[in-house]
């Protein structure tokens, strides 16, 4: 029940006051003297009085015990017992706890409840004042308030509603045992600045077993199909194996007609993540982030123009492929990691690693 003051009534100017309710019934509250002037709170659901004779019409409450906000029972309202007196300052009633009157202090503390209840009320008060800060922070700020309290006993329903977030996706423990049995792919772009060769995107192909990464620059997203077919031919020719599964997101560049015909014709299973669920393609997404971190660091460190980002991302893939990886127990990728390749005995020392990556470093 919402209660509003009548526009023609001033509760402090006359002994009698009128209020109207926004329901099916109208109630009139009447004060017989200035000693019992009503102070109407328009945001209150109900109003209480110890003297029913002040109301020309009222509804008795079925509540037998009146409690404070913290659940502490208050003195019987029918006893008309004065709890304490406060001095009015502006629109507030100020209770001076610094007074020399021991009776006033003891009475105020008595009303406040036990020390545990007072600490609990203070914790909730500061929790709301500081914008619903976590109770762990409050314990750091006010350790004395938690001297007798257990922080695990505080649970705020408002915080659970306002600060709720998506449950994190579990980390996948699956790892391919055979190179190229599963290949992750993703397209990054478009970049705001075009490379020197006119590219604005790049596509990555990551082997799930070794985390070897191949990067190709794209001028348009429509080149993804041809780049994958070239990558497939390179794997089949150089490593005597075939790609079994290709995993990518629901991007339109992977759902074109040419790629949809190429994959089933070569026995490749294509796995697609759910819409707007990048976490299911986490291997490719994290690889993109790693590549871009190396690109930014290289450009900033060398004071190079941002138009060189395409060449730098190729160099970043070359370097990352040679950095020890946690997937390989922090071992360097060597020629024994991938399937055997033809004519390796005729290559010069040190050129096999360059050939495996398929990229040349920037010099």
Span between the terminal Cα atoms of the chain, in Å: 79
Residue 249: the pLDDT is 85
Q: Which range, 37-51, 54-68, 123-137, is most confident?
A: 123-137
The DSSP bridge pattern shows strands 201-207 and 182-188 to be antiparallel
Confidence of residue 1 (pLDDT cuts 50, 70, 90): very low
Query: Is the residue at 317 inside a domain?
Result: yes
pLDDT band at 66 (very low <50, low <70, confident <90, very high): low
* 46-60, 308-322, 348-362, range with the lowest pLDDT: 348-362
Residue 123 to residue 133: CA distance in whole angstroms? 11
CATH code, 199:
3.30.420.10
Residue 112 forms part of a structural domain: no
Confidence check: pLDDT of 98 > 80: no
Q: Structurally, how many domains does the chain consist of?
A: 2
Neighbours of 361 (CB within 10 A): 13
The residue out of 42, 62, 82 marking a domain boundary is 62
Please name the residue that has the structure tokens 């390796």. 344
Contact 105, 97 (CB under 8 A): yes
Query: Which residues constitute the domain of residue 302?
Result: 182-357
pLDDT for 18 beyond 60: no
Can you give the pLDDT at residue 151?
A: 86
**SS3 of residue 205 by DSSP:** strand
Do the Cβ atoms of 246 and 263 come closer than 8 Å?
A: yes
Whether the upstream peptide bond of residue 190 has omega within 30° of 0, thus cis, is: yes
Residue that finishes a domain, picked among 62, 96, 115: 62
CA distance 129 to 134: 12
Token pair 């994958």: residue: 228
Instruction: Report if residue 288 sits inside a domain.
Output: yes
Give kind and range of the element (H or E) at residue 185: strand 182-188
Tokens 């629901």 found at: 250
State how far the Cα of 268 lies from the Cα of 262, in Å rounded to an integer.
8
Residues 6+ apart with CB under 8 A from 308: 195, 196, 299
pLDDT at 235: 93
d(Cα 67, Cα 8) in Å, to the nearest integer? 34
Please write the tens of the pLDDT for every residue from 110-129. 444 577 888 888 899 998 88
Spatial neighbors of 15 by CB under 8 A, at least 6 apart, are: 31, 32, 33, 34, 37
Both 191 and 340 in a single domain? yes
Q: Establish if 145 belongs to a structural domain.
A: no
How many beta carbons lie within 10 A of that of residue 107, not counting itself?
15
**Together in a domain, 324 and 190:** yes
**Residue at 337 is within a domain:** yes
**Residues facing 135 on adjacent strands:** none
Quick one: pLDDT at residue 109?
A: 45
DSSP state of 328: G
Question: Given 41, 62, 83, which residue is the final one in a domain?
Answer: 62
- How many CB atoms lie under 10 A from the CB of residue 206? 23
Residue 210 has pLDDT above 70, yes or no: yes
- Structure confidence by residue, pLDDT tens digits, 119-173: 888 899 998 888 888 898 898 888 888 888 888 889 888 888 888 877 777 766 6
Q: Is a pLDDT exceeding 70 seen at residue 85?
A: no
CB 212 within 8 A of CB 338: yes
List pLDDT tens digits, range 243-298. Answer: 999 998 877 778 888 888 999 999 999 888 887 777 888 889 999 999 999 999 99
Confidence of residue 194 (pLDDT cuts 50, 70, 90): very high
Query: Residue 87 pairs with which residues in a beta bridge?
Result: 94
* Position 29 in a domain: yes
In a domain, 221, yes or no: yes
Structural domain contains residue 274: yes
Confidence of residue 338 (pLDDT cuts 50, 70, 90): low
Question: Could you tell me whether strands 87-89 and 92-94 are parallel, antiparallel, or unpaired per DSSP bridges?
Answer: antiparallel
80 versus 209: which is more confidently predicted?
209
Task: Look at residue 311 and give its three-state secondary structure.
Answer: helix
Average pLDDT of the chain to the nearest whole number: 74
Question: What is the percent of the chain with per-residue pLDDT over 90, rounded to a whole number?
Answer: 26
Pick the more confident residue, 99 or 80: 80
Q: What is the pLDDT of residue 314?
A: 95
């Amino acid at each position: 029940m919402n209660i509003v003051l009548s526009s023609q009534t001033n509760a402090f100017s006359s002994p009698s006051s009128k209020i109207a309710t926004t329901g099916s019934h109208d109630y009139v509250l009447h004060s017989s003297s200035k000693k019992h002037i009503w102070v109407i709170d328009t945001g209150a659901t109900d109003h209480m009085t110890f003297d029913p004779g002040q109301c020309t019409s009222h509804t008795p409450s079925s509540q037998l015990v009146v409690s404070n906000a913290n659940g502490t029972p208050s003195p019987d309202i029918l006893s008309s017992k004065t709890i304490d007196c406060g001095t009015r300052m502006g629109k507030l009633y100020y209770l001076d706890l610094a007074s020399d009157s021991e009776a006033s202090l003891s009475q105020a503390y008595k009303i406040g409840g036990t020390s545990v209840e007072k600490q609990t009320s203070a914790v909730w008060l500061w929790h709301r004042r500081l914008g619903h800060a976590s109770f762990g922070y409050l314990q750091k700020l006010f350790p004395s308030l938690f001297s007798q309290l257990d922080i695990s006993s505080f649970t705020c329903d408002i915080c659970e509603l306002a600060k709720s977030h998506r449950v994190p996706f579990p980390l996948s423990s699956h790892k391919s045992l055979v190179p190229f049995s599963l290949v992750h792919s993703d397209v990054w772009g478009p970049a705001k600045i075009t490379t020197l060769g006119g590219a604005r995107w790049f596509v990555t192909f990551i082997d799930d077993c070794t985390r070897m990464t191949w990067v190709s620059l794209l001028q348009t997203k429509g080149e993804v199909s041809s780049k994958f077919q070239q990558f497939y031919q390179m794997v089949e020719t150089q490593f005597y194996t075939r790609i079994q599964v290709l995993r990518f997101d629901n991007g339109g560049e992977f759902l074109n007609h040419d790629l949809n015909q190429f994959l089933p014709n070569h026995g490749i299973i294509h796995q697609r993540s759910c819409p707007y669920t990048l976490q299911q393609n986490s291997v490719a997404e994290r690889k993109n982030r790693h590549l871009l971190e190396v690109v930014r660091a290289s450009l900033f460190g060398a004071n190079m123009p941002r138009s060189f980002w395409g060449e730098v991302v190729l160099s970043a893939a070359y370097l990352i492929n040679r950095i020890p990886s946690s997937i390989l127990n922090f071992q360097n990728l060597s020629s024994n990691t991938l399937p055997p390749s033809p004519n390796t005995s005729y290559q010069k020392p040190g050129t096999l690693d360059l050939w495996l990556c398929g990229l040349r470093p920037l010099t």
